[in-house]
Amino acid sequence: MNIKKVGLTALAGSLVATSAFAGALSLSGGAKVSYVTGDGNQEIGDTAGRFAMDQEISASGSGELDNGFVVTLTHGMSGEETAKSDTSSLTLDMGDMGTLSYNDADGHPGLAGLEDFMPKAYEQANDGIGGNASAIMAKQASGQGFGYDVSVGGASVSIGVSDGIAAKADRTDGERDTSTAGANSSSSIAISYDVSDALTVKAGVGTEGQADGKELDHATLGATYAFGPMKVGYQLNDEDDSAAGGTDLETEIYGISFMINDSLSVSYAEHNTDKSGAAVDQEIESIQASYSMGGMSINLKESEGTGIGAAADTNHDATEILVSFAF
């Protein structure tokens, strides 16, 4: 009997200790259905048809350490293969000391998060219409890497670093393939500063390694200004290729959005890219609207572009309707 009492007491104590150190666990997700016509490209799902659907599920767990730091693990799955992990991240929130993170995929540390921060009702003006993207620090935007975010003197600073070394397909004991390390490495820093309640200035610089050993240098600078329900913005992205005969890109983005009410917003944007050596510039205009009904939103975008891909007489127009649900 005494042995049973001791065993039960030990088990109870173990359960109490386990629950005391257990972190919070949350589950979220959603689904999207889109219709695209004209020269537009589907941005969701695995189809090139007019209609497409995509779904995603994200699980997030966090726990507090003895020193007050908070560790959070997020694991996301999307697409038809729900067992496929598209995004995973591990963060360490150190309070005033900032936040360290490791992003397995689709993380946006550093400059990658400033690709297009113009006011918009729905999405970037050039999304789904093709041509030269404004993608700055593309490898950090879609690959693995470390990030560090901290607030310094009223400014938000974000640093991103990626070695770009992929694991070998036939690796053993964590063996790494260093043959393409230079072609995928990247580093960048981005800064955001609220000059006032209405004016925000953002800037960043970064470098990406290329297969030929050369580098792509990136820079962006822009600002947004809000007055009442309206917000306007301007941004300049620059990409310089150090390789002989490399292509340089300069993209100017203008945006204006207006909140008609708490549920309905509209916006207009221009996205113009100058490609070195090209005879014409790529110019894209987009009008957008978004209506929110709690966990459901309806988004509409009408876009027109000339000189797509910096090619003469290559004009595209696209209409997109996307309905999304979230839980």
Is the distance from CB of 14 to CB of 21 less than 8 angstroms? no
pTM for the whole structure: 0.80
Q: Is residue 33 part of a domain?
A: yes
Q: What is the pLDDT of residues 269-310, one digit of tens each?
A: 999 988 888 878 889 999 999 999 989 999 999 999 888 877
Q: Give the domain CATH number at 133.
A: 2.40.160.10
Query: Bridge partners of 305?
Result: 284, 316
Residue 5 lies in a domain: no
Residue 23 neighbours by CB distance under 10 Å: 13
Two structure tokens written together for 65: 């350490």
Q: How confident is the model at residue 124 (pLDDT cuts 50, 70, 90)?
A: confident
Within-domain flag for 4: no
Domain boundaries, position 268: 26-326
Q: By the 8 A CB rule, do 178 and 184 touch?
A: no
| Average pLDDT over every residue of 9-21 | 41
Is 2 a domain residue?
A: no
Looking at the domain assignment, is residue 229 inside a domain?
yes
257 falls within a domain: yes
Domain count, the chain: 1
The reply to whether 288 falls in a domain is yes
Summarize pLDDT for 17-70 with one digit per residue, the tens: 334 445 678 999 999 999 988 876 666 655 567 888 888 898 999 999 999 999
Q: How far is CA 183 from the centre of its chain?
A: 21
Is 55 among the domain residues? yes
